[in-house]
Amino acid sequence: MTVIVRDLRADSPEDAEAVTRIRRVVLPFDVTTPESVLFGVRTANPAKRYRLLVAERDGAVIGMSHVGIAYDAAEPSLAYANPVVHPEHRGQGAGGLLLRTAEEHLAGEGARSLFSWVEDTPACRAFAEKRGFRPSRAAHFLRLGLAAGTLPGLPPLPAGVELRTAADYEDDPRPLFHADAEATSDEPSDVGADFTDYDDWIRHTWENPLLDRGLSTVVVVDGGIAAFTAAMTDRETRYLSGMTGTMRAHRGKGFAKLAKTDSLRRARQAGFTDAFTSNDADNGPMLAVNRWFGYEICASEVRHVRTLG
């Protein structure tokens, strides 16, 4: 009956499937597959000091946590740990043991601030606050039913505007890297990113098995990228907006709506039934865009932080 914490075995499909099952139960607004779990472990940047911890009880995986250093953050010594425990096994010490193991590892790697996303429920927030965490920011997760819902039609494209997909950039994805970097740098966050490593972006974003390049829409104006939306899918029924961004010179022109409209319509045509996205709770413009599509808030999380050492 003892709970133990160990590293996920990178050569174990069974471990990856167990982690996927837990995340789908606890975080139904997320998109995870066994392939993406193993990809994250096998390709992690060494500077990340990444570990995927699993909590095991009587031979069964009942919890997990992504753990690592925010190696691309503008400020050094920032780290993260996000314990997730199956609801049927909470209150048995798995979450606390996952967190303690993560803290010991990260402190040994020089981390000084630890960030963690916490479900916005009284029990989960109490768990975090009891362990010295304080809330820093909130995020909402939204769902749109594609099968039965309605989607706006595509408007006529203005002169000089065309729609492409990320697959059109497979020979040279660098323009998408620059667009992603600009949009990410302006996204609300308490952990800023220094987004400059193209090779790292290729390995961990462009080659991510969840990225559906064919469903990721790119709005092009006079040959240059004006906006994009990255589609992450499980290749079955679930679609997630990984990132939607508009370049600074093109904001306020409706290009984010255009990109999302095109991508969502093609996702529905391809048989996807559930679309998910997330927004910083203070990002009013993007929340308004998603509500315009018919997305509804289905869950919230609160980012917490504590000092290590």
Q: Could you please report the per-residue DSSP string of 109-158?
A: TT--EEEEEEESSHHHHHHHHHTT-EEEEEEEEEEEETTTS--PPPPPPP
Are domains 3-111 and 144-301 of this chain identical in fold? Answer: yes
pLDDT, tens digit (0-9, with 9 covering 90-100), for 214-231: 999 999 999 999 999 999
Q: Going edge to edge, which strands form the sheet with 113-119?
A: 3-7, 51-57, 60-69, 78-85, 113-119, 296-307, 134-145, 274-280, 238-246, 224-233, 217-221, 161-165
The 8-class DSSP code of residue 203 comes to I
For the segment 2-8, the average pLDDT, to the nearest whole number, is: 97
CB atoms within 10 A of CB 188: 12
| Share above pLDDT 70 across residues of the chain, in percent, rounded to a whole number | 97
What does the pLDDT average to over 291-300? Answer: 94
Residue 19 has pLDDT above 90, yes or no: yes
CA dist 244 and 287 (Å) reads 12
| Mean of pLDDT values over 25-29 | 96
What is the model's pLDDT at position 124?
Answer: 95
Tokens 């996205």 correspond to what residue? 277
Which pTM value belongs to this model? Answer: 0.92
Question: Which pLDDT value is given to residue 191?
Answer: 59
For residues 115 and 81, what is the distance between their CA atoms, to the nearest angstrom?
Answer: 7
Cβ atoms of 97 and 5 closer than 8 Å:
yes
Reported confidence tier of residue 125, pLDDT bands at 50, 70, 90:
very high
Judged against a pLDDT cut of 60, whether residue 151 lies above it is answered with yes
Q: Give the C-alpha separation, 105 to 95, whole Å.
A: 16
Specify the pLDDT at position 288. Answer: 86
Q: In which element (H, E) is residue 79 found? A: strand 78-85
- Span 232-261, mean pLDDT? 95
Structural domain boundaries in the chain: 3-111, 144-301
**Which structure tokens are listed for 300?**
């919230």
Interatomic CA distance for residues 24 and 19, integer angstroms: 9
DSSP annotation of 193:
B
Kindly state the average pLDDT of the residues 94-113.
97
CA gap 87, 62 in Å, rounded: 9
> Maximum distance among all alpha carbons in the chain?
67
CB-count exposure of residue 93 (10 Å: 0-12, 13-18, 19+): middle
If one looks up domain 144-301 in CATH, what number appears?
3.40.630.30
Rounded to whole angstroms, how far apart are CA atoms 53 and 110?
A: 19
| pLDDT exceeds cutoff 80 at 249 | yes
Please choose, from the candidates 258, 291, 265, the residue with its C-alpha nearest in 3D space to the C-alpha of residue 277.
291
Q: Which fold has domain 3-111?
A: Aminopeptidase (3.40.630)
Residue 75: what pLDDT?
Answer: 81
Length of the chain counted residue by residue? 309
